[in-house]
Structure 1
Amino acid sequence: MPTVGVGRDRLFAALGETYTQEEFEDLCFRFGIELDDVTTEKAIIRKEKHIEEEAKDDEETIYKIDIPANRYDLLCLEGIAQALRIFNKKQEIPTYSLSHIPKDKMLKMTVRSDQTSQIRPYVVCAVLRGVTFDEARYNSFIDLQDKLHQNICRRRSLVAIGTHDLDTLQGPFTYEALSPKDINFVPLKQTKSFRGDELIEFYKSDLKLKKYLHIIENSPVFPVLYDSKRTVLSLPPIINGAHSAISLQTKNVFIECTATDLTKAKIVLNTMVTTFSEYCEKKFEIEPVEVTYDNGQSYIYPDLAVYDMDVPLSYITDLMGVSLEVEEVTSLLNRMQLRAERSTSSEGQCLVKVHVPPSRSDVLHPCDVMEDVAIAYGYNNIPTRMPASIKPLPLNELSDLLRLEIAMNVYTEVLTWILCSHKENFALLNREDDNSGVIIGNPRGADFEAVRTRLMPGILKTVGSNNKHPKPIKIFEVGDVNLLDETKDVGASNRRHLAALHCGATSGFELIHGLVDRIMEVMGVPFKPEGDIIGYHIKRSEEPEFLPGRQASIICKGKHVGNFGIVHPEVLINFDITDPCSFVEIDIEALL
């Protein structure tokens, strides 16, 4: 969940009421957010720099508030304060509108789509006229951009926001993509002009901006925005130009969002303009900009259209487990910034017509409406009741029974990572990559670049990390593995596996074989000769992770369900294990 830091005194002033910490925590809980921490700016700095120093009484109190990840409208003080005022019935839901400007007098942005399609194809724009900034509002405006960049914008890879002092520019504007050597301008907070390629080298030493360079660094063209005088507005997603930098004196703000995802660009632009239009001379009014592509297509942004959703009253009340009248539901939704009214379907069903404003991009489905009703009603006010059915799924019931049985055989259960390295999935087990595993895009590290296709790597890593533990080590795991599966709509499927390992100087084939027999006995599957489809039998196998001649496949009711044997010495060396190990892995879903 994103955390937003806001000044307590300024927040209370915006709310028009003062609260004790306990009262504010209660208000946050009732609204569905959480007061995570109470600190000061200087305390945050001291913590970052590991400075031991006593706090002073005059330090401003900062509330750190956790908000839901999809509530982009709450990423700054203005959004939180407005939402809480409406929740407390101290403010009406605002109506956002576009300025009435003839199309021929509207600011225009022309997109050279034959160029920008190579790197960042979309741009959306808007203007906030007559804005009044003070230092706190200005800082909040900048902070909102940073928060959006880190969340929905995915660190500027999907959307990059540029804000400019419109009075320093001359429309119409153009959005192009040019060779880095053909771009030349003075970037924000600099006095020297740089070419595009020089700028990349310059910012490689900048702690904040260097993490965005990879987005365009290797592209033959860089995106760039110009005004009619060829003044550079910005080089997205890296830096704005110094010429159009906004300040406390800025009155007219031009906002542009370049993107690879048009839907997210619209959400980001709507969030920016709806949040800060309350500081405009004409409150909640935004000036549109016409964006024209060179193929002739033309669009007006921002799109402030209200989205209407009809939700059956029974859907809301049944999921909540509370009987409510339609008037109660509409009143609760109004407290959550959603205008609502009674409606009736053609079949006579009672509906709640919900008008979703442009600031609430998180409302996508009737379940989102139901959630807001439940929040406004109060989760603590919803009566508790026993679910209609609490019977576990057959697979989970079987998993629990097997866990109990193996534990009674003096094995200790472990829980290992579902993600592993590609090397652990294949090479360290002496296996070739058979393209059966799911690979993670943009993994956090080499240890989490693939989804495990078997439980063996995690079990072996556990033993390798506990080499000094007294022997024998007897551990097991019951968990899911993941395999590519073209028959599934997501392209992959989970399988529930059971794995057990015996590590010690006397670890042999017969020890793990005995555990296999016990598992099958518990499952009620008798040992039968090969060819019998009622029971199970074992047959010689040639799996590379096991020692040749000391391994077997488990065939149950005519299907291959697992393997067991003595782990190959090369595999043990790969996982830094010094003692012999015997191992079994069974697909327990195949036993159902």
Structure 2
Amino acid sequence: MPVITVEYEDLKELGVDISKDKLIEILPMMGSDIEEFDEKSVKVEFFPNRPDQLSVEGVARSLKGFLGLEKGLPSYKVKKSQMKLYVDKSVTSIRPHIGMGVVKNVNFNDKRLKQVMEFQEDLHWVIGRDRKKVAIGIHNLDVVEAPFTYKAVKPDEVKFTPLDCDHEMTPAQILREHPKGVEYAHLLEKFDRYPLILDKDDNVLSMPPIINGELTKLTDDTSNILIDVTGIDERAVMQTLNIICTSFAESNGRIESLKILRPEKELETPDLTAKTKKLKASNVTRITGIKLDSKTIIDLLGKARMDAEIISEDEIKVKIPPYRVDILHEVDIIENIAIQYCFNNIKPEIPAIPTIGEEDPWYAIDKFIREIMIGLGFQEIMSLMLTNEENHYLKMRLEEDERVEVAQPISTDRTMIRKSLLNGLLEFLEANRHEDLPQKIFEIGDVVYIDKTQETNTRLVKKLAGAIIHSNANFTEIKSTVAAIIENLGYKFQIEPMDHPSFIKGRCAKIEDNGLKGFFGELHPEVITNFKLEYPIIAFEITFPSR
């Protein structure tokens, strides 16, 4: 999850004059984890459902509400700039959605530029799914002129100087030679044309989702910026644009909109109209266990930076800020009420039930397994049960088979329930390529299989998987590791050769004893490169007997 650095001096400049000790006390109550702090700043980890808090401006805005310094829906004036963006139909099948906004009166310095770049990359990860779903460009508006055009061009049709480069390149050259082009080339590899954003004189601002042009690079002297957000999900594109624009507005930036002229429709962006939802006061009491009247609920919603009004004895109409992408249901609003009430003020009560709870023996086994793995030098990770077919099958060199699919996935990378833990381990290693080697990680978790003999047609299975990456990782090392695990669990370590598509032929073995099954070996080089890794990886996966 993203970790941002918040300097106390920055908060003070944004209107939050608070002591270090008070800030350290409050931040966890707002739904964040403090990584570390010193006399100058604090590093805070926010959950991905609150991308609006990935900038110091967003944190300050939330703090103002929590502390009662400002209440209610923040007001952002949006002036129509008269600028236009023409969207050509050539991008429809590639990256069809785009939103644009202008922010004027922006003050930059070296620190601020770094913060903006970090904010941009955090949004790329949290909402953009590493630029696949959404990609962001922030440009110096003063060096280009409207109207702008968003269109797709042939690989060698146009030349421009990409960011941090001293010579012109074609889009095809960028994908082959520029570091960012090489890293994100897979996002455009299926297409024979590449999207560009140009101004009225055909100057290239950006090649989404790869890189901006050097022409519009931000500097200390930049005071007016143009923001573009492109992607394959229109809702995510507009949400991201709203988050960025409102963040700049918190530090006195002035927002202006552009008219987007698409082949099928016209729209004005950014659209900062507040969403409205209805809330039942009785549901607040039922879910939180706190008895609150409507007037108190409205006051707490004000601290959460929402407006509210009573429309009947039990119903409240709530206005939600345009940057709050996490408010999907009534229960999300109730969660915000509980946060503002402060969880520490909720008194715990023993439920009136006639039994006494105790630890499930099945999960007590997990503790024992963790002790074994940690004793062998591994670190535990916990990944989501939801994954996608590309990571689960294609990248692992496996053929697709029956699985439990998500009927209405909210994102393209969470479309099925996992049947294995291995790809989750490799995704973790991919995300931590910058960390020192060796890395030894494991996970204990449940997977789901289709089983039509069961009443629910599914079967939950517990698995243990581990992976080791370093320059000398080999079969002997993983064999001795698995032997230690199996014997500590009280099983016999008996192995047989096994062919597995994810592993090198002749470097994989299976284990089986008294209901316990598994395999281990050296991962295939193609699997390693599919996850953008560069060193040998040895791995294992063990399936435990059902209860």
Name the residue aligned to 1:373: 337
Matched with 1:495 is: 460
Residues 258, 268 of structure 2: 8 Å contact kept: yes
Name 1:547's counterpart in structure 2: none
Q: Of 386, 391, 401, which aligns to 1:435? A: 401
Indicate which of 267, 282, 286 corresponds to 1:318: 286
Matching residue's letter, 2:54: L
Q: Which residue in the other structure is 1:76 paired with?
A: 55
1:448 equivalent in alignment to 2:422: yes
What pairs up with 1:87-166 in 2 under 5 angstroms?
87-93=66-72, 94-99=74-79, 101=80, 106-113=82-89, 115-166=90-141
Relative to structure 1, the CA distance from residue 13 to residue 267 in structure 2 (aligned partners, 3 Å threshold; closer, same or farther) is same
1:298 maps to which of 266, 270, 273 = 266
CA distance in 2, matches of 1:498, 1:202: 42
What's the counterpart of residue 8 of structure 2? 8
2:225 to 250, 253, 258: 253
Residue 328 of structure 1 aligns to a residue whose secondary structure is: helix
Matches within 5 A, 1:410-489: 435-436=401-402, 448-449=422-423, 480-484=446-450
Relative distance call for 1:494 and 1:8 in structure 2 (3 A) is farther
1:537-576 matched pairs, under 5 angstroms: 569-570=496-497, 576=509
Aligned position for 1:174: 149
In structure 2, relative to structure 1, the CA distance for the partners of 1:339 and 1:200 (3 Å cut) is same
Question: What letter matches 1:385 in structure 2?
Answer: E
- How big is the shift at 1:373? 0.9
Q: For residues 463 and 63 of structure 2, what CA distance do their matches in structure 1 show?
A: 50
**CA distances 1:213-237 after superposition (whole Å, capped 9, x unpaired):** 2212452111101111111110111
Supply the distance in 2 between the matched residues of 1:168 and 1:314 (Cα, whole angstroms).
56
* Compared CA separation, residues 441 and 170, structure 1 to 2 (3 A): closer
- Structure 1 unmatched ranges of 5 or more: 40-59, 427-431, 452-477, 500-565
Q: Which has the larger radius of gyration?
A: 1
What does the per-residue CA deviation read over 1:317-363, in whole Å, with 9 as the maximum and x for residues that have no partner?
1111111111111111111111122221xxxx412221101021111
Q: Percent of counterpart pairs with the same letter?
A: 26
2:304 corresponding residue in structure 1? 336
The alignment partner of 1:194 has SS state of coil
238, 242, 251: which one aligns with 1:266: 238
Shift of 1:567: 8.4
Aligned-residue offset at 1:447: 7.0
TM superposition shift of 1:436? 3.6
Query: Any stretches of 5+ residues in structure 2 without a counterpart?
Result: 374-379, 406-411, 426-443, 465-492, 500-505, 518-542
1 CA distance for matches of 2:447 and 2:225? 52
* CA RMSD, 1 decimal: 4.4
Residue type of the alignment partner of 1:327 = K
Deviation at 1:128, TM superposition (A): 1.1
CA spacing shift, 1:589–1:391, aligned 2, 3 Å: farther
Q: How many residues align?
A: 443
- Normalised by the length of structure 2, the TM-score is 0.70
1:507-549 CA distance string (max 9 Å, x none): xxxxxxxxxxxxxxxxxxxxxxxxxxxxxxxxxxxxxxxxxxx
Q: Which residue of 1 aligns with 2:37?
A: 38
Q: Cα distance, 1:379 vs. partner?
A: 0.8
Aligned amino acid, residue 130 of structure 2: R
Question: Deviations along 1:235-288, whole A, 9 cap, x unmatched?
Answer: 1111111222222222221111111111111111000101102344xx6x5211
Q: How does 1:237-252 map to 2 (within 5 A)?
A: 237-252=209-224
- The aligned amino acid for 1:5 is T
Contact 2:96 2:231 in 1 (8 A): yes
The offset of 1:191, in angstroms, is 2.6
Runs of 4+ deviating beyond 4 Å: 388-393, 396-401, 411-420, 437-444, 478-481, 485-488, 496-499, 566-577, 585-591
Partner of 2:257: 288
1:129 maps to a residue whose letter is K
Q: Give the deviation of 1:117 after TM superposition.
A: 2.0
TM (norm. structure 1) is: 0.65
Distance in 1 between residues matched to 2:275 and 2:206, nearest whole Å? 32
For 1:196 and 1:400, the matched residues in 2 are separated by 53
Q: Relative to structure 1, is the Cα distance of residues 481 and 92 closer, same or farther in structure 2, using a 3 angstrom cutoff?
A: closer
Contact 1:482 1:492 in 2 (8 A): no
Contact 2:516/2:545 (CA < 8 Å) preserved in 1? no
Write the deviation string for residues 403-438 of structure 1: whole angstroms up to 9, x where unpaired.
8xxx9xxx9999999999x9xx99xxxxx9793457
Distance across 2 between alignment mates of 1:338 and 1:450: 37
Alpha-carbon shift at residue 125 of structure 1 (Å): 0.6
SS in 1 for 2:35: strand
Q: Structure 1 stretch 383-392 or stretch 63-72: which is displaced more?
A: 383-392
In the alignment, residue 450 of structure 2 is paired with which amino acid?
L
Conserved? CA contact 2:196–2:208, under 8 Å: yes
Q: Note the alpha carbon deviations across 1:411-470, whole angstroms, 9 max, x for none.
A: 9999999999x9xx99xxxxx9793457997999x972499xxxxxxxxxxxxxxxxxxx
- CA displacement 1:1-60 (0-9 Å, x = unmatched): 3211122332344344241x4322112133232322125xxxxxxxxxxxxxxxxxxxx8
Structure 1: distance between partners of 2:400 and 2:121: 43
Number of the residue aligned with 2:45: 66
Shift in alpha-carbon separation, 1:231–1:392, aligned structure 2, 3 A? farther
